[in-house]
Amino acid sequence: MRQNSATKLPLFFKPLMWSYRFDSVDPDRLQERIIVNTINYGNWKHWQWLADYYGKNEVRKIIEDLAASEFRPSALALASLIFGIKKMKYATRGDKIRAAKNLQGIA
């Protein structure tokens, strides 16, 4: 369940967001990156926060929309069980980047 726009990511996420200035991480703006890093490197406490903050259905939709190559295979297998993921996209990360660039060129 989302809070208000002033919501900050809990401090226990700092090790998962090593490549960001943690104090300025917006959980809504960086939702996809937070979910990917949490699935790949987080522990149960992080996963519970994802489910509580974004909701299990939203987390499932985001994971399903990402390329499977974004995730460590064992982490994705566990996430599939916990979040009820039935089907993943098996495009490479490069395919996703090229598709995003193509969409930007259209706009």
- What residue spans define the domains of the chain? 11-106
Name the CA dihedral angle for 52, 58, 59, 61, rounded to a multiple of 10 degrees. Answer: 170
Structure confidence at residue 20 (pLDDT) = 94
Q: Give Cα 17 distance to the centre of its chain.
A: 12
Which pLDDT tens digit goes with each residue over 18-67?
999 999 999 999 999 999 999 999 999 999 999 999 999 999 999 999 98
How many CB atoms lie under 10 A from the CB of residue 38?
A: 21
The pLDDT of residue 1 is above 60: no
